[in-house]
Chain A
């Protein structure tokens, strides 16, 4: 396997009865790349991502994620990736520190490592004053920054972000993207699913799924040229409306 390719997908397919949710998709993602995985509601993004993170078995095709096969080593994939979504990220009823300890434990980090990582994270995000506060009491933007850092606690090769920044104020949102750029610069691959096209503009490359198939895959710049569009939103509308 090419060591620079941390996700390799070939002809990946998922059927539910007669319905083909994901239809022979093929793509690679490189180390340190920010890869946008786009599609309308119901296009198959979630199903595809579930296969990549090892919680849904493909019907056919092949996929290798973080060096492990989705058919035979799904458990190893889970240990080697980070995951964050807007719907589920942290426990509101635990404090910031408790959340870090909890997720560190889940990922199998030693106590000493958790302690060290916890301190680093709290210092870096400037959270000293709120480390003992319940996560539920913090603003949404803070929660997102913390949950992104928590998803990176175990130094995964890839972090999956499921619609990460909807609803956050524009300044916090940019701070969040700066964190993503930093992680990518340090070699972590970032896989972002979203249907917000302005988020797509931040990615190195994006793929767009329509009815279970990947209909376009390139840099935002090239896609805009290809579809003679001013922004990714127009690209998306042209593709999805046919």
Chain B
């Protein structure tokens, strides 16, 4: 009961939102779509949840075609859109009841599935949804997306705007849902969340750059990356950008990630060059590639 996407394209007027996208999500997999705003993630979600029809291509969700069997898909998937879409004027409990009723079920019937999540907001069940904090809204939205016991769960940027503590809790919840047999497709602009998925697709400008496990994607990075640090970050970036042997220069927190375009790169030579640019406290050491390095190399 996974997802299968074949050659899907979608354009809005001149903008090509998705260009010939194909991938498969295995049953019970936690699959991540990783890409920035405007990459086409939401368009893809809307096509897979039958809210939008693709210009070209076919897609299958939980064994059903997104066009021919759209009604069956709606009964079998849960969708948590990026924008908070519950009824602000209904209370927590009323929202949940509403979604349960629409799907012809009750809160009691599927309480086991949402229990972990819902108990955290149950003390506020009489509060209007509009008055909840960001983290609580997110938990309510997830409860509502799960109340009809879907086979496949779609989560569009569930952690955007959420602080690190709530983000971590959210990913722990996803892991538990996966253990209950649900297939999960989740999108995020945060590269650090990619590592928490079984497999990921890196997506930008409507095209998939690569699909693999997070570990394999990092392993495919073609070059040795060096962490470079000096006393003045801005001068360091400028100097590295001006260095004729550079392949890529990207600030990474307190370091710059540097790759060289020669096969016989000499670390001392780079150090001498940087010293000649009046930089001091220079440190250069090897480091491992991250998902973000890979993304930038592929998007270059």
Residues of A near any B CB (own CB < 8 A): 39-42, 139-141, 166-172, 174, 177-178, 181-182, 184-185, 195-198, 201-202, 219-221, 232-233, 236-237, 240-241
Contacts and interface: CB of A to CB of B under 8 A. Distances in A.
Contacts of B233: 181
B204 interface: yes
Contacts of A40: 163-166
Contact of B165 (A166, A168, A241): A241
A168 B135 CA distance: 22
Interface string B125-156: 00000000111000000000000000000000
Interface of B: 35-39, 133-135, 160-166, 168, 189-192, 204, 232-235, 237, 250-254, 292, 295-296, 299-300
Contact of A167 (B133, B160, B251): B160
B231 to A, nearest CB: 12
Contacts of A140: 36-38
7 contacts: A41-B135, A174-B251, A178-B237, A197-B164, A233-B192, A237-B164, A240-B165
A174 B235 contact: no
B235 A170 contact: no
| Top 3 A-B pairs, shortest CB-CB distance | A201-B253, A169-B36, A181-B234
A236 B253 contact: no
Contacts of A232: 253
Contacts of B162: 41
A168 B36 contact: yes
B225 to A, nearest CB: 14
A90 to B, nearest CB: 16
A198 B250 CA distance: 14
Nearest to B205: A169
A14 B159 CA distance: 29
A41 B292 CA distance: 25
Given A170-B299, A185-B235, A241-B165, 14 more contacts: A40-B163, A41-B133, A41-B163, A41-B166, A169-B39, A170-B250, A171-B250, A171-B296, A174-B250, A178-B237, A178-B251, A181-B237, A202-B253, A232-B253
Contacts of A196: 190
A139 B204 CA distance: 13
Given A41-B135, A185-B232, A170 B295 contact: yes
A39 B163 CA distance: 8
B192 A171 contact: no
Nearest to B188: A167
Contacts of B39: 169
A185 B191 CA distance: 28
A185 B164 contact: no
Contact of B37 (A167, A182, A219): A167
B189 A167 contact: yes
Nearest to B295: A170
Contacts of A197: 164
A76 to B, nearest CB: 29
A56 to B, nearest CB: 20
A169 B133 contact: no
Given A41-B133, A185-B232, A167 B36 contact: yes
Contacts of B296: 170-171, 174
A177 B133 contact: no
Given A41-B134, A237-B165, A166 B237 contact: no
A198 B237 CA distance: 18
B292 A170 contact: yes
B254 A220 contact: yes
A130 to B, nearest CB: 15
A41 B164 CA distance: 9
A181 B251 contact: yes
Nearest to B252: A201
A41 B39 CA distance: 27
Nearest to B250: A174
A139 B38 contact: yes
